[in-house]
Each structure stands twice: as C-alpha cells, then as structure tokens.
A and B are shown apart, each in its own frame.
Chain A
C-alpha cells in the first residue's frame, strides 16, 4: 500500500495563477484533511471531508477550494494564488473518528512569487 500520496511535491507559481493539489489514499479512509504548515504556526486545518461528496471548512479556508468526488481522492484548489499562500501543504486521512490516527502524505512545497 502506498498510503497517502500527494502531487506535485514542489511547485512555484506567480501571483494570480491557479493550481490544484492532488491527494490520494489507498487505505479506504472516510475522512481526509488538508493542512498548511508555516514556520512557528504548526499545522492549520484548511478544509476537510467526512466522506465522498462532502467537504467542510477548517480554520483557514479563505482562498482555497476543495472537492471529494471519489472516496480515495481529495483535491485542493487555489484559484488565484497569493504570496501569503506560500507554505507546505499536507494531506492526511483517517479511518473515522477523531480518536483515529491521521496518516499524512509527504507534503507539497508551494512557493508563490
């Protein structure tokens, strides 16, 4: 099993460009999450999904959109990238409840110029 995978690993964007980050998991997990990690800020939840076809906002959702069309995939979109979105983005998944372990992908390092 590959676990949680993320593509791409690195990306450089210009301000105003758009892009989509892809997260895929092969563990049949119901819940999926997108976090951003900035120095000194820890992990902050952007959006999450509790099942196929559902999405919800986390603590820092502005400027991002998500979709969960298939259970195994969770997409994070930036419609008009801004320098403030320069960060490392992690996707995670868990089987069900908050008591469950979250499994993280390797991350995507995004730079917005």
Chain B
C-alpha cells in the first residue's frame, strides 16, 4: 500500500540552528499537507502544496513540493524554542478514496535554548 516516509525521526538542534525534515511517498501525490503537533497537543494544519515544484514560505518556515510530486521538505531557518514539536507530512491515499490521508510518522524536533 501507499507509504509516506519521513526522515529524520528525531532532530535535536541548538536554538538558532536550521532544521529540515524530508517526506517521501511511494506514489505520486495530488497534494501534500504539513501539520505540527506540540508536545501534549494535537496536530494543527500548517500548509498545503499542490503544484509540482511549489515552494511556499511562512515566516521562517519554507515548504517545498518535489517536481515529481513524490517528495516534500520543510525547512526552518534559525530555530526557536517555539518550534519544538512533531512535524507530520500527509498525502491523500491513492486508489480512489481521495478523502483519506496517509500520515508520515513525523519528525520530532527539540530545541536547546
């Protein structure tokens, strides 16, 4: 079945360092979504990418969707302690039922102040 892989599983950085998490799908995705979950919280939608090669920015966060629409990345510039949490990518499941998302297992980011 469709798989969405995320690497790394964990990342610990010093405050001010950059951070990148990568998402790879076994199938082509119509779109990809990114969510953030703070410790003890629930996933919260960050952004959606739809077009091949699309790049979107939210302040210090940069999201990219690969040309083949099978991979994506989230880059955080100059991390802050408020960036702590788990970042998930998710893509619609292939094969008809387009309303279900397959989530990656997430990347847990910790930031040392």
Contact = CB atoms under 8 A, between A and B. Distances in A.
Is B truly associated with A?
Answer: yes
Contact of A101 (B41, B45, B98): B45
B31 A99 contact: yes
A50 B45 contact: no
A98 B88 contact: no
Interface residues of A, number: 25
Interface residues of B, number: 23
Contacts of B9: 40
- The dominant DSSP class at the B interface is loop
Contacts, number: 57
B59 interface: no
B42 A105 contact: yes
B33 A101 contact: yes
B78 interface: no
B105 A98 contact: no
Contacts of A94: 99
A98 B44 contact: no
A104 B43 contact: yes
A113 B6 CA distance: 32
Contacts of B69: none
A44 B93 CA distance: 13
Given A96-B99, A102-B45, A105-B42, A42 B93 contact: no
Given A42-B104, A42-B105, A107 B42 contact: yes
A42 B99 contact: no
Of the listed residues A58, A103, A104, the one surrounded by the most CB atoms of chain B closer than 10 A to its CB is A104
A45 B100 contact: yes
A92 B41 CA distance: 14
Contact of B42 (A40, A97, A99, A106): A106
A43 B92 contact: no
B88 A42 contact: yes
Contacts of A106: 41-42
B22 to A, nearest CB: 15
Q: What are the 6 closest A-B residue pairs judged by CB atoms, nearest first?
A: A98-B92, A42-B105, A104-B42, A43-B103, A98-B98, A101-B45
Interface of B: 9, 30-31, 33, 41-45, 48, 50, 88, 90, 92-93, 98-101, 103-106
